[in-house]
Chain A
Amino acid sequence: MKKVLISIAALAALSTAGFATVNNQTGCGLGSQIIHDDSSAVMLALQATTNGTLGNQTFGVTSGTSGCRKARFVMNERAAEFVASNMDQLSREIAIGQGESVSTLAELLNVQDKAEFAHALQANYNAIYTSEKADMATVLDNVSTIAG
């Protein structure tokens, strides 16, 4: 059974088809899967990749994510997926004003001037992360508004 679950999970993590069927309504797909559904197949697949040594707390790192509402200005699913899975890392880099996650987001949103993008996000930190409960959709909405 585990084998089957892992296969499904690996597929879900890879194919847009799997992604869409997993969470078609919300648009936050994989990210929300990982965070909300601890018993999901993705969780199992992740466990399977930890080299079996120690229980890891991968999921804790993304605690900032909570929402699955469809963002108004979502440009693409990959950006949503990325933001949902990297909420904490992204918020730290936005606060610092630079970093690989910010550059990745810029690339996913087809932003040309990455430095300007990072600067704008930092200057508007409180408008993006309105509270500690900000969810992926809100963050992406706000980022789109600022960058757009």
Chain B
Amino acid sequence: MPFLLLLCALSLSLYAALSDELIAQAHAKKLSETRYWHLLMHTPHQISEVDDPAFFLSPVGKENLSSELDATIRRFSNDINRSNESVFCRFPARRAWIEKELNISFGEGECSEYEALVTKMDPQKVTLVFPSAHINSPASMFGHTFLRIDSSMESKLMSYAINYAAHTDDTNGLLFAYKGLFGGYYGYYSMLPYYEKLKEYRDSESRDVWEYDLNLTRDEVMAMVRHIWELQRMNSWYYFFDENCSYHMLWLAEIARPSVRLRDHFFYHVIPPETVRAFEEEGLVTTKHFRPSKRTKLLAYERALSPQGIHAVRSLGEGNIDTNQTLTDVQDRRYALEAAAELVEYNFIEGKISKELYAQRYHALLSERAALGEGKTLPIPDKSNPDTAHHSARIQITQGWYEKRSPLLIEWRPAFHDLSEDDAGHLLGAQIEFLDTVIGLDRDKVSLEKLTVLSLASIAPVSHFFKPFSWRMKSGWDREYGDDRLSFVTRVGAGAAVGNEQLFGYFLSEPEVRLGFNPDIGLGFSAGGGINWGNRMKSYVESGHIFYLDGVDRSRIILSHLWQWNRSSAVTFSYEASYQLHREDRVKLGANLYF
């Protein structure tokens, strides 16, 4: 017995000696100061962004990377337990890196869960995936990004999607916005088969999906997978503007290839489409693919069908008519049945028809479609890639010529896009503006011309199959009202729009509340439209009339033209005339700089 005790003590001290020696080596090589250790610890500066205590092996690990490295080496060397829940199995990326740097091996473990994951995932390549905005949903207007780990299978549907998202059960939009901005949600990484993500974004939410294949090597992909495993159960506070879904994908890519510096492309906010460009600028993107959303596909059917075909789709969707009677062209019949099946599914997703009715109609339509044999593949027109869009932050410098003064206007807008701007890479009719601030300089006088708290618009054209309503809202200070005086206005409007990517028009009814020098309540009506001329030229017009309670109505027309020179710059011109007791003209000419 004493002998056994002695043996134990000896082996323990042997372990201890080994770990002390390794720690000394790590100190000598200053490993805890290297970039890779900072990447593994998600530490951009002094403190790790991971908020889960389980991620740290040292009690001060979140703030002290050196202590964390020591603790990690000690646990890898000393821990007897090497089963699934052990430190040995939970941190394969740390282990692989330390083994390489110190040129040692910590030996084998029994990490069956991790190995089962790697076997099933069969990691070969990585693709960056960007689901764009969802029409009529401001919360999705920035889009989303996640990574897809591709296997050696030809089919990409079986690949795994690596996603980071806030976890919340809150359905209150305001609460969501508040907590999203200032913290209050935990974000988690998750893994799901890619087909599940497509069902979610492409089908349920009708968002176009863009894929960017990355040139990461298999070893680099493995480094990423090892680290994903480490993060799987960890939470971090989620922040809508900086520590969001896209931001976390940047870390993963840097873990895979530490020589890229994706995070350095951003300094105060990370907007999903901007991350795509960062990947491109770092030379990571090889090929691009587009997956049309359910809505885009149905719009393509509208284009491909004859008027009788469109009529047939609507009847078929309601469970009526036999296409043999109305459609003579067999291809038209095929398209009509396919579109009707899509439409029935869409209506089911939207909650417009019951599950039983859906299953019954869907089956009947597809059965009839199958009988018609193979036909043409539906042509789906190309859409401009989100990576062609203008950058999201804007500085605008404009010379204004007004009725009574000629101010030089300097604007800063952190995000993101308005209706008069070039639509390339953006969802048509989606506007989101945040903290748009304009300062006027006029003969040594400095004035606040405009400060938009938030301005949103969703101009969603109606079509044969879709009847969305269009809406917009704006809240902030401006000088649009009588004689250039500042007032605070909140306006909410709803209406309808028609058109497509080239040409669109809308009509809105907009109640307005104005506070300031002359508080008033009004009801306005606006009609507007835009033309995308091609070559990134856009014209925009809007006219409106507001009936105020005090009886002094106001009319206004604005015409603007913009030429998007490239993603970073544009030239803009606008003319505005308003009439309220007297007429007032304003002309502006200037340049937009995007970054």
Contact = CB atoms under 8 A, between A and B. Distances in A.
A144 interface: no
A6 B199 CA distance: 20
Mostly, the A contact residues are helix
A14 B366 contact: no
B349 interface: yes
A49 B197 contact: yes
A146 to B, nearest CB: 13
B157 A100 contact: yes
A101 B195 CA distance: 9
A85 B200 contact: no
B363 A15 contact: no
B117 interface: yes
Contact of A88 (B166, B200, B362): B362
Given A51-B144, A63-B358, A2 B160 contact: no
A114 to B, nearest CB: 9
Interface residues of A, number: 58
Given A55-B171, A57-B204, A13 B165 contact: no
B163 A63 contact: no
Most buried by B among A53, A56, A62: A53
B355 A82 contact: no
Contact of A91 (B155, B188, B334, B366): B366
A15 to B, nearest CB: 4
Contacts of B205: 54, 56
Given A51-B144, A88-B345, A95-B369, A6 B158 contact: no
B323 to A, nearest CB: 14
A122 B113 CA distance: 40
Interface string B355-381: 100111011101101110111010000
B179 to A, nearest CB: 9
Contacts of B341: 92, 95
Contacts of B105: none
A104 interface: yes
B566 interface: no
A92 B367 CA distance: 9
A38 interface: no
B157 A101 contact: yes
A58 B200 contact: yes
Interface string A44-81: 01111111111111101111100000000000001000
A25 interface: no
Contacts of B137: 53-54
Given A52-B185, A56-B200, A104-B157, A46 B374 contact: no
A119 B373 CA distance: 8
A101 B203 CA distance: 14
B233 A3 contact: yes
Contacts of A58: 196, 199-200, 203-204
Given A52-B167, A52-B176, A61-B199, A103 B370 contact: no
Given A10-B232, A15-B117, A98 B377 contact: yes
A68 to B, nearest CB: 17
A6 B195 contact: no
Interface in B81-123: 112-113, 116-117, 119-121
B144 A14 contact: no
Interface in B193-217: 193, 195-197, 199-200, 203-205
Given A49-B190, A88-B345, A132-B359, A56 B154 contact: no
A48 B195 contact: no
Contacts of B254: none
Contact of A15 (B116, B348, B360): B116
Nearest to A78: B158
Contacts of B362: 64, 88, 91, 132
A126 B232 CA distance: 43
B153 interface: yes
B15 to A, nearest CB: 30
A49 B165 contact: yes
Contact of B367 (A6, A62, A63, A95): A95
Contact of B355 (A63, A103, A108): A63
Interface in B109-155: 112-113, 116-117, 119-121, 134, 137, 139-140, 144, 153-155
A41 to B, nearest CB: 12
A60 to B, nearest CB: 5
Contacts of B196: 46, 58, 85
B363 A52 contact: no
B191 interface: yes
A8 B238 CA distance: 21
A62 B196 CA distance: 10
Interface in A1-46: 2-3, 6-7, 10-11, 13-17, 45-46
Most buried by A among B116, B167, B195, B334: B167
Contacts of B2: none
Contacts of B192: 13, 45-46, 49
Nearest to A8: B233
A85 B195 contact: yes
B351 interface: yes
Contacts of A85: 193, 195-196, 199
Given A55-B171, A57-B204, A107 B176 contact: no
A104 B158 contact: yes
Contacts of B455: none
Contact of A45 (B117, B139, B154, B190): B190
A96 interface: yes
A54 to B, nearest CB: 6
A142 B367 CA distance: 15
A54 B233 CA distance: 23
Contacts of A6: 167, 188, 190, 233
Contacts of A7: 232-233
Nearest to A134: B363
B427 to A, nearest CB: 15
A131 interface: yes
B359 A16 contact: no
3 interchain residue pairs of minimum CB distance: A125-B370, A132-B363, A95-B366
18 contacts: A6-B233, A16-B120, A45-B192, A48-B190, A49-B190, A51-B166, A57-B351, A58-B200, A63-B348, A86-B195, A86-B199, A92-B338, A95-B367, A97-B374, A119-B374, A122-B374, A126-B370, A132-B363
